Amino acid sequence: MQIHVKQGLIQEEDTELVVVNLFEGVSTPGGALKAVDQALNGLITQLIEEKDFRGRLGETHLIYSQGAMPAPRVLITGLGKAEIFDLDRARQAAAAAARRARKLGVSRYSTIVHGAGQGDLDYGRAAQAVVEGTFLGLYRFDGYDRDNKPEETGLGVSQVTVVEVDDSRLDSLRENASIGQVYGEATNWARDLANEPSNFLTPGELSRRVSERGQQAGLRVEVLGEAEMAEMGAGSFLGIAQGSDQEGQFIVLEHLPKGRNAGDLTTVVLVGKAITFDTGGISLKPKTNMWKMKNDMGGGGATAAALVATALLNLPIHAVGIIPATENMPSGRAIKPGDVLTAMNGKTVEIISTDAEGRQVLADALCYAQRFDPAAVVDIATLTGSIGIALGRKIAGLFCDNDELRGRLSDAGQLAGEPLWPMPIYKPYRKLIDSDVADMKNSGGAYGGAINAALFLKEFAEGYPWAHLDVAGASWQDEQGPYSVRGGTGYGTRLLIELLRGYGQE
Ligand code: BES
Ligand code: MN
Ligand code: ZN
């Protein structure tokens, strides 16, 4: 989908549909809505008076211009109450409009920036949110549904023009619309990777797709196979990978702006769990819902997508993405409960559950991160069912003992519409993963499962400020949301881009 930006009057747009907006509770149209109302001889004033459209968030109302404007249709998208309007509501309103336009069979439409004049909302941020919401709202994954091909039925929005009347805002609009497109497309790519069935998205296929898109964006890409991993002593990762017929892949992405030295820039490392399918291994999962475990590479997908976006935005930082990718399978070669693995830092782990595989692959990746001498390392993982029980499907758990980094992540989550909630790395629980035969065991039981997992990871995140994001709840939705569909959400992509952008602004 193409995004265009132009200076002009929305009521004069010659296109299939124009999108304007209405705040809930407003009795007289203002701004762009007023201009459209005047062009339509007070039709919108009447609509509001009759209470046929109240401007609730997520609702849209279609009217016909009957020759009074060049565009045959006008769509009003509700913004909800003005007092509580924010960036996420701009995303939601834009997504609702985009979905309605698609349903109407519209391929090209023009819109204004929703909430542009609202309170202390930053214009550039609002413009970004509108474009972002448009991409997110239109997302769907139907790669294998032969009845549902937009390119064959002629459905699908192919071009959206964002119109701004104020000339002085055009530069900001141009810049932020393209930023919004980068955020939106990155998230949708992460969603595609998450929704892709694991028989197609093997570790090898994931590394091919990430390499291809990464290189196109200008990233340096390195993929280590199992032999190289063995040389490095990554026994924790390899222990998980050995049960699968698919070779494990250790993907390393690196962004360095042209002509800059890593030493002169802030280095931030992202680590993303990428289990392309988690059966649980010998500690086999129950069959109900097991299919959703194709999403167990969600953290790795978000990491790859955030790195690609970082390169496209050419952020002035040194960013590294580490994505340990493997399947977790039961087989004659699989590790068994009671086995002991040795990680890259020499620490030994007694495997209690082969289903606690995520922390095993992250352990070596966190050790590997040290070589970049990073200012911060953030890992993101669909790590525990517990975090979903604790925080539900909208919020991810934030484990971080460094105040500065935790603050940055919370702020990034807020801006991105991907909320994080602080969780404790509670030291007294460390004894729950004490082992009789090794340095630690890989499961501390069901109670406080997400905290025990964080305490485990901490053993490998040595020598740098570190945060762990447990996204097992938020990376999947069972129902359609304002700008997400059932399935993988690509959660974390936008907050990680936001985090890196923050480092680049200093
Ligand atoms: N991938 C799962 C966590 C998960 C559960 C993600 C539900 C998404 C939805 C992870 O590998 C896992 O199996 N964790 C175990 C850990 C336990 C064995 C210590 C869990 O949460 O039960
Ligand atoms: Mn598991
Ligand atoms: Zn898993």
Q: Which residues pair with 277 in a beta bridge?
A: 327
**56 included as an active-site residue:** no
> What CA–CA distances, in Å, run from 225 to 143, 229, 238, 346?
29, 6, 10, 20
The finding on whether 296 has its CB within 6 A of some atom of ligand 1 is yes
Residue having the nearest C-alpha atom to atom 7 of ligand 1? 385
Full-prediction pTM beyond 0.95? yes
Task: Quickly list DSSP for 163-196.
Answer: EES-GGGHHHHHHHHHHHHHHHHHHHHHHHHHHS
The finding on whether 316 has its CB within 6 A of some atom of ligand 1 is no
The finding on whether 360 has its CB within 6 A of some atom of ligand 1 is no
**285 included as an active-site residue:** yes
Measure the CA dihedral 488/489/495/501, to 10°.
80
Q: How many CB atoms are located within 10 Å of the residue 436 CB?
A: 6
| Separation of alpha carbons 342 and 316, rounded Å | 37
User: Is residue 225 within 8 Å of residue 249, measured between CB atoms?
Assistant: yes
Q: Where do the H-state alpha helices sit in 370-491?
A: 385-391, 403-416, 449-458
> What CA–CA distances, in Å, run from 73 to 15, 17, 110, 145?
9, 5, 11, 31
Q: What are the pLDDT tens digits along the chain (506 aa)?
A: 999 999 999 999 999 999 999 999 999 999 999 999 999 999 999 999 999 999 999 999 999 999 999 999 999 999 999 999 999 999 999 999 999 999 999 999 999 999 987 878 999 999 999 999 999 999 999 888 877 665 555 578 999 999 999 999 999 999 999 999 999 999 999 999 999 999 999 999 999 999 999 999 999 999 999 999 999 999 999 999 999 999 999 999 999 999 999 999 999 999 999 999 999 999 999 999 999 999 999 999 999 999 999 999 999 999 999 999 999 999 999 999 999 999 999 999 999 999 999 999 999 999 999 999 999 999 999 999 999 999 999 999 999 999 999 999 999 999 999 999 999 999 999 999 999 999 999 999 999 999 999 999 999 999 999 999 999 999 999 999 999 999 999 999 999 999 999 999 98
| Separation of alpha carbons 22 and 28, rounded Å | 10
Q: Which residues pair with 469 in a beta bridge?
A: 380, 398
| Separation of alpha carbons 308 and 190, rounded Å | 11
